[in-house]
Amino acid sequence: MTAGFDLPGELTSSRPPSAPIQTDFDDLFRSPGKRIAAFSQMQVRLYRHNVSLQDYFLPLQLGTLSRPKVNCSDQSASRPRFAWALRGLDTISRFRPRPKIKADVLFCPMPYFGRKTENRLLVRTLLGMAETGATIVCLLQSSAPCGRELEARLTDAGRRSQVTFIDPTGSSNPMEARLRGPFSRMRAHSALEETASILEPLGLSPGREVEAGFERTAYFADAWERLAPSVEFDAVVARCHWNALCSSVCRTGLTRGKPVITFQQGVIGHTLDVPVTASKFVAFGQSSASFLAQVNTRFFRAVGTAEPPVEYVNGGSLFDEVNVLPDQFERRTVLMVDVPVPADDFYGIENQCRELMQLAEKLLTANLPLRRLVIRAHPHWSDMDFEFCQRLVREHPDRCELSHPSWSLEDDLRRSSAVVGIFSGVLTVSSACGLPTVFLDSEQGYSTRDLACFSPHQTLSSDAAFDHIGKVLSDRKAYAEARSQALRNAREYYADGTNSGLTASFFERLLRT
């Protein structure tokens, strides 16, 4: 990433233009585009101005350098009388205090329930904490599809009485319920106005498509701030420190001087993971822990403030299942992931995705003992263009297929001999399962040093990847060597190369101050 690059021409402003911030991330991330660099500039500038703007980093990532831009003068043209009246009504709606509740642990999962692996992690985390004997307040929306399973599992374990479920988006009275929507939208527009006014002089104003994300984030932040005064706790356990709801909950925990524990969300792909607003961070392993520590230190160096202490814990694979598979050489099936290029190419992987598709075509047309090529897309595959993939399936119906999104990753890994992709967490898991795995590299492509432990033997150019895959499909000895290499590297990436226990003893150590 070209950090510290010359920013776009600065726009006219009543304030003197600000000098570019040296973010110093260029040796940690590499991207052929400017979006990651621009996003890191946004983060540093906004956090320096107002730390609560960290809540909006996620929606900002989705709109960096997009058109048309948000114009702060347009945002300022709001209806002041309406805003004044709305604030007055909202103050009245808060007169009736909520009942107080106290617990040992405040648990905040992410308010998204579309991925089965995440829901499974939520259940395991809550059960593991309950087994410590702690009382828990769990912030769970009443519409969460895993709610009934949680109730049943806690009841079966004899732990139901320890857990109080609170819908963070619930309202304390009918007036508050009516005002929540318009008030959070007003709050979002105010945050967007503030964001635009800070970034405009740098030519980095966000695109208008971030408005919906700002409104969703403001809705959760407002919900928590209404609820927070009535909840007392001794520690916070949050799924992820930068996602909606979790971000403001973690900040409240730190402000109150409580231990705040969060978990790695996935491969550390860019600076969205910083600043780390937690006192303890559960990483997959030493590789990610040391990498994130570097990124966090450099972030606070760029901001110009002292870095709060963070204890990094090596936890293993958190949500994807690591099960060491037997030698699957005879299957002669290649699983391909990270395709096709997403419409919103934040990382600048368009060329790498194109090379990956060309590699797929080359594997299918070469004289190799390849029985099947399975293409597995990202869970959000409905947003992607599959024309090229579908063409490959039509041209090679007996040897190429698209994995259906209802099929689990474990199912696809069990029927594969080798895996290839760019930087997906699927690749780190397949390595830990003992499958020869290739991270496709490109001189002008994207990379993150979070995956440095898989270099050089597994991080290969397109030509080298083709040769390597050809060998592991045809030579049992080459397959065995590649399998051993994958397991060795994965043990560096995941603690002990396996799954996180999430047991009572694990959480007792985490919660110990």
- Residue 70's domain comprises 1-320+500-513
* Residue 38 and residue 170 in one domain: yes
What is the number of domains present in the chain?
A: 2
For residue 275, say if its preceding peptide bond is cis, omega within 30 degrees of 0. Answer: yes
Q: 283 with 395, same domain?
A: no
* Token pair belonging to 93: 């709606």
Per-residue pLDDT of the chain in tens (513 residues, 90 and over written 9): 333 322 222 222 233 334 555 567 878 999 998 888 889 999 999 999 999 999 999 999 877 545 556 665 554 444 565 555 555 545 655 656 778 999 999 999 998 888 888 999 999 999 999 999 999 999 999 999 999 999 999 999 999 999 999 999 987 777 777 878 888 898 999 999 999 999 988 888 787 889 999 999 999 999 999 899 999 999 999 999 999 999 999 999 999 999 999 999 999 999 999 999 999 999 999 999 999 999 999 999 999 999 999 999 999 999 999 999 999 999 999 999 987 666 678 898 888 999 999 999 999 999 999 999 999 987 665 556 688 899 999 999 999 999 987 888 999 999 999 999 999 999 999 999 999 999 999 988 999 999 999 999 999 999 999 999 999 999 999 999 999 999 999 999 999 899 999 999 999 999 987
Q: What is the pLDDT of residue 11?
A: 24
State residue 343's pLDDT score.
66
pLDDT tens across 180-228, in order? 888 889 899 999 999 999 998 888 878 788 999 999 999 999 999 989 9
Residues 293 and 236 in one domain: yes
Q: Model pTM?
A: 0.89
Tokens 């396996």 appear where? 498
Are residues 263 and 347 part of one domain?
no
| Strands ordered across the beta sheet of 231-238 | 163-166, 136-139, 101-108, 231-238, 260-263, 280-283, 311-314
* Other C-beta atoms lying within 10 Å of the C-beta of residue 498: 16
413 and 342 in a common domain: yes
Pairing state of beta strands 447-448 and 437-440? unpaired
CATH of the domain at 395: 3.40.50.2000
User: Residue 108: its pLDDT value, please?
Assistant: 98
Residue 77's pLDDT is: 41
Give the C-alpha separation, 513 to 506, whole Å: 14
What is the full DSSP assignment across 302-344?
A: HHTSPPPP-EEEE--BSSS---PPPP-GGG-EEEE-S-S-BSS
Three-state SS annotation for 182-250:
HHHHHHHHHHHHHHHHHHHHHCCCCEHHHHHHHHHHHHHHHHHHHHHHHEEEEEEEECCCCCCCHHHHH
- Is residue 104 domain-shared with residue 207, that is, in the same domain? yes
Residue with tokens 């870095």: 307
Give the pLDDT of residue 18. 47
- Say how far apart CA 253 and CA 238 lie, in whole Å: 10
Shared domain check, 349 and 424 = yes
Q: Dump pLDDT digits (tens) for 447-458.
A: 999 999 999 999
Give me the pLDDT at residue 172, please.
Answer: 72
Triad 276, 69, 65: Cα angle to 5°: 50
Task: Specify whether 292 is located in the same domain as 364.
Answer: no
> Token pair of 76, please?
């300022």
505 in the same domain as 485: no
Using alpha carbons only, give the angle 65, 187, 196 rounded to the nearest 5 degrees: 30
Residues 296 and 360 in one domain: no
For residue 173, what pLDDT is reported?
A: 74
CB 5 within 8 A of CB 32: no
Euclidean distance between CA atoms 60 and 28, whole angstroms: 21
d(CA 372, CA 223): 50
Same domain? For 275 and 350 the reply is no
CA separation, residue 306 to residues 23, 72, 298 (Å): 15, 31, 11
223 and 349, same domain (yes or no):
no
pLDDT for position 134: 98
Closest CA to 502 of 203, 147, 263: 263
